[in-house]
Structures are given as C-alpha cells and as structure tokens.
Structure 1
Amino acid sequence: MRHTNLLGTTLILACLLAGACRQKDSKQTNMTEKESTTAPTVYKTTGTIERLDAALDNIIAPDAKIEILATGFDWSEGPLWLPEQNKLLFSDIPPNKIYEWSEEGGLKLYLTPSGYTSEVPRGGEVGSNALILDKQGRLVLCQHGDRRMARMDAPLNQPKPNYITLADKFEGKRLNSPNDAVYKSNGDLYFTDPPYGLEKNADDPAKEIPFQGVYRLTADGAIHLLTKELSRPNGLAFSPDEKTFYVANSDPDKAIWMAYDVQPDGNITNGRLFYDATSQAKTEKGLPDGLKINRQGYLFATGPGGVLIFDKNAKHLGTIRTGEATSNCAFNADESVLYLTADDYIMRVKLK
C-alpha cells in the first residue's frame, strides 16, 4: 500500500544538499529539523488522539501530540530504532532507499539500493520494506525488488549495499515480496509474503507461488509455511510471552487482524479473528499494516484512521489519528516514544 508523491525525491535531495532545513510552513518546506543547536526543537504537529477508553491515559498522556519529524517521501515504511546509535531508520520504498533520522543530526540518506540490486530496470515497489535487527544486532531487510529476506553485510555505523540472502524461495519457487518480519527469542525469523513488491501485484506473471504466505525461517535455513489462508498478510508480532502470534491482513475487503496460538515447535494453530476493521476501511485512510506490541501487551496496529491501540482482549482503547494512510510504527528502546511512518511523513508520539 502506498501513495506516490512525485515531488518526494526532489524535495529530499534539496534538503540534503542544503544540510538542514528550518521548520517553515508546509507550503515552503518539506523537511523539519532543528532550528538551533541551543534552543529546544519545536516540531509541527498534526492529527488528533482519539480516546475510546480511560485505559488509554495509562499509555498516552492526555496532552500528547503527534509531531512531524520529516516529510517529502514517496511511501515511508519499516521504521526501526537503533538504540546504540540513538537514531531511527526507515525505508522509502519506491526510490529504493533507507534514511536515518536523529534528534541531533536530522535527516540523512543511510543506504541505497535497499531492496533491488539488479542493474536491469523494473517497475513496482522495489525498495526495502520492514527493517529489523537479528540477535547479533545486524540489519535484516524485507527486500521487495530482490524478493528475499536479506541481511546487510556491513556494520550499522558503516552501511553498505552488500547483502546476504537469508530466504528467497519456498519449495523451489521464488517468494513474492517479503513485507514484514519479526524474530522470536529463539532466533527463528517469521515473515509475511504478500505480492505488493511485484510489478503487477498478484496478477504479475513473474509470481511463482499461488498464495500469500506467512513463513518461519529456522537457523538451519529451512523455511516452513505457517499459513496460506490470508489474502494479504502484512504486519506481525508476538505477545510478550510469545504464546500468541498476531498477523494483519491488508485486504480492503477483509481488513482484519488474526491471532494464533504458538506451538512448542514454532508453528501456529487455532487461528481466530482478533479484530475486524473492514467497515472502517471503507471510509478511513489506511488498512491493517504494520504491528507492534509493547512490554505490557498492548497492540499498536496501523490501520484505518492511523494507529489503533488494543488490549490483549481486542478492546479498542483509542486511535492515533494521523490524517494519513499509516504504514507502520516502532518504539524507541524504553518504549517512551512511538515512531510512525505515514505516507510521505515520519511522525512520533511520546508515550507514558
């Protein structure tokens, strides 16, 4: 899912050449950075935080704002906080790039190409999508264009477009376009494989697998199909005790989140509906997409309207209404900040 901003690349390059962009009216600039090294940074705000239950006050302060950190991207995705470097990484999928943002350094290009490394031109959503860290702290990418799960073969502080393939085939057939991923504590890699990175989506003649799967990659390199029943599997996450596995389905006709029991062998069973937002998807921007769960077990699920917040019993506590189709979210190290990728924006909300 994305919305193309034709001016995105030009605006980003202009800001990078200038070195820094002071916060101005949105008609005058598409980059928001610090105005001074001595004065506190003041960011533009947007949207609203909708409270449906008093329990949300224990998660987000009543006076919390949605801050815009940067804008001008084609379709931002895959936010990842690097705690040791105190910076955010995120993908801009169509131009095949990853950017970094920090309070001290503002916005910078981090890595390109990020998801498609061939010199043969092709269309579609070629860049990286989700970005995660493995147990050794190495960058792992869902690469749309190369249709694989890959690991960057370079240190985080010296990024290079050198990649090692972790998974690119299931039963001898090429994956569609890995979209989102999460590691289990034992090192198993779980990922979803919808067709969004193919040039013609599900109708692409290059599509080799006749379904959209959710997979588990074990340390020995074996790929296990967990389910092929979802039409557009997308974001995924484990409950804090890793006994429950959640998957978003970004299909406008079946905009749902599913929950599964995790078996001792790592497979999943007892699939059941967690929450159905199909009716909201008819009138609100966005679909079930990226998904994160905090240490208290609250689900932060990007979907119709922004980021929907649920308790473990699927009670909808409220929504961070960004006003944009919101693709994904990520916490900082102590979960005091939630970073959001929303169309051509990077945003954040401070948490309690």
Structure 2
Amino acid sequence: KNSANGGANGLIINSEGELILCQHGDRRLAKLKDWPSKNPEFETIVDNYNGNILNSPNDLTISKDGSIFFTDPPYGLANQDLDSLKEISFNGVYKFKDNKLKLLINNLSRPNGIALSNDENFLYVANSDKNIPIITVYEIYNDTLINEKIFFNGATLAKTNKGLFDGLKIHSSGTIFATGPGGVLIIDNTGKHLGTINPGSRVANCAFDKKEDFLYMTSDNNLTRIKINYDPLSY
C-alpha cells in the first residue's frame, strides 16, 4: 500500500530482517510487519518529536546497536517550510533508540542522505539545498554530535551539473559514494573528489550489494546498476 501523500522514501533492513521505512508521506518511521507477504502491515516506530508531528522522514541508517539515525526535511509537505501542516520549525536529524527520540541537528536547511562511518565514530549528512550543496560530517561523542565540519562542498559542481545531494553510502574502504551534482560522486575519506558515475539521469539514492560487486542507483522511474571494480589504492 502506498500513502496518498507520497509514500515511502529511504529503506533499510535491520538486524532482525525487518524492513524499516521513512514514510515521508505519512510523516513517520515505520516497520513493515509480516514482510514479505501479500498483506503486510505497517507499524509506527515514531511519528513525532515532543508531541509535534515529524516533517517528512527522508533517509536513515542503523548502527550496530540498533539505533536509527534519520533525516527529516519538509519534502513530503506540499508547501515544504511554508506548509500550514508543518509543526516543527526546523528540519532536523534525529536518533531513535530505546523508544526515545533525540534531536541531533537542527541547523541544516535540507538534511537528506545520511550514513555512518564504518567504525561508527562519524556521521555524514547530505544537504540537498541548491544554495547550500554540502555534505557535513560530525564526530559522535556519547549520545551527541561534536566537531561539525563541511566534508565536501559541491557549489562548484552544482554550477555546471544537474542534481542535488541526496542519498549516500560508504564503501568498506571508507570511500563515500554520494548522489549529487552530475551523478554519483566518489569522494575519499579526506573529502577529495575522485570521480563521478553518471548514469544519464539525476540520481536520488544508491546502494551496494553485499559483496560490493555492484552499485545500484535509483533515478526517476529507473533502477540501474554498474559493476564496481574499486581499488582505493589506485587513486
């Protein structure tokens, strides 16, 4: 079943094999029960912050301890920041753990793609704002984020390429594959742009298969993949 208000966005399978969804149309994080089946049911994980309905959860990642980190821009609302249904003044990044929702970031204009470093010491967040096209990185300290930095600034690329920063994934080598201006940007862990994969249309998200043999990309109505022969030592 699809929401009448825009359906789901980011998806992830947790350690129990359950499908967790950012239902940006229904403005909640949900779990798909009895999946896969002909008649699955959605169970709400969280749909509000301090009693105010979430904007429209967009993308998510899960840590090894089961904590869910997710972004909450206004894209599921017809008039976005100006929509009368918007109950939260900012567009946040949150952590959900032990049935508690904690606000981590409230100063990004359009938080979108999100990923944890392989050692889970850093959190990367893509900002899908054409005026502020950046990827930020934060050090995770206890239950908070510190040392905010701009990891990659896409302003120059955005001048001559279509697309905004959206979903991103981190390769086992630590290299970031980030959808953005021009396609999927390959960025090393120092923030150096190594190259771009251009599938011919604007890319919204990407994911590796388990062996990292292929990179899958979603764009408009298309799902494409490309064979990955990536050796970070060659750069």
- TM-based fold match above 0.5: yes
Provide the C-alpha distance between the structure 1 equivalents of 2:54 and 2:117, rounded to a whole number of angstroms: 27
1:168/1:135 Cα in 2 relative to 1: closer, same or farther (>3 Å)? same
Once the two structures are superposed, the pairs formed by residues 155-234 of structure 1 within 5 Å of their partners are 155-156=35-36, 158=37, 160-218=39-97, 220-234=98-112
Provide the C-alpha distance between the structure 2 equivalents of 1:348 and 1:134, rounded to a whole number of angstroms: 23
Q: Is the 8 A contact 1:129 1:180 kept in 2?
A: yes
CA RMSD of aligned residues (A): 1.2
Match of 1:134 in 2: 14
Match of 2:30 in 1: 150
Which of 204, 208, 222 is matched with 1:327 structurally? 204
More strand by share: 2
For normalisation by structure 1, the TM-score amounts to 0.63
For normalisation by structure 2, the TM-score amounts to 0.94
Q: Is the 8 A contact 1:153 1:163 kept in 2?
A: yes
Q: Is the 8 A contact 1:292 1:329 kept in 2?
A: yes
Quick check: 1:249 aligned with 2:133? Answer: no
Q: Is the 8 A contact 1:152 1:160 kept in 2?
A: no
Q: Is the 8 A contact 1:305 1:322 kept in 2?
A: no
Q: Quick one: which amino acid aligns to residue 247 of structure 1?
A: V
Aligned partner of residue 204 in structure 2, secondary structure:
strand
User: Which aligned runs of 4 or more in structure 1 are off by greater than 3 angstroms?
Assistant: none
1:161 shift after superposition: 4.1
Higher relative contact order structure (alpha carbons within 8 Å, sequence separation ≥ 6) = 1
Match of 2:232 in 1: none
Gap regions ≥5 residues in structure 1: 1-111
1:282 shift after superposition: 2.9
Quick check: 1:315 aligned with 2:192? Answer: yes
Aligned partner of residue 128 in structure 1, secondary structure:
coil
Aligned partner of residue 165 in structure 2, secondary structure:
coil
Aligned partner of residue 282 in structure 1, secondary structure:
helix
Instruction: Encode CA deviations 1:105-144: one digit per residue, 9 max, x unaligned.
Output: xxxxxxx32xx2xxxx65xxx1100110112010010001
Q: Quick one: which amino acid aligns to residue 228 of structure 2?
A: L
Q: Quick one: which amino acid aligns to residue 307 of structure 1?
A: V
Instruction: Encode CA deviations 1:313-349: one digit per residue, 9 max, x unaligned.
Output: 0111100012211100011111111000012221101
Q: Is the 8 A contact 1:285 1:323 kept in 2?
A: no
Match of 2:215 in 1: 338
Provide the C-alpha distance between the structure 1 equivalents of 2:213 and 2:153, rounded to a whole number of angstroms: 28
Instruction: Encode CA deviations 1:1-39: one digit per residue, 9 max, x unaligned.
Output: xxxxxxxxxxxxxxxxxxxxxxxxxxxxxxxxxxxxxxx
Provide the C-alpha distance between the structure 2 equivalents of 1:127 and 1:146, rounded to a whole number of angstroms: 7
Q: Identity of counterpart residues, as a percentage?
A: 47
Provide the C-alpha distance between the structure 1 equivalents of 2:160 and 2:46, rounded to a whole number of angstroms: 37
Gap regions ≥5 residues in structure 2: 230-235
Quick check: 1:239 aligned with 2:117? Answer: yes
Provide the C-alpha distance between the structure 1 equivalents of 2:184 and 2:133, rounded to a whole number of angstroms: 14
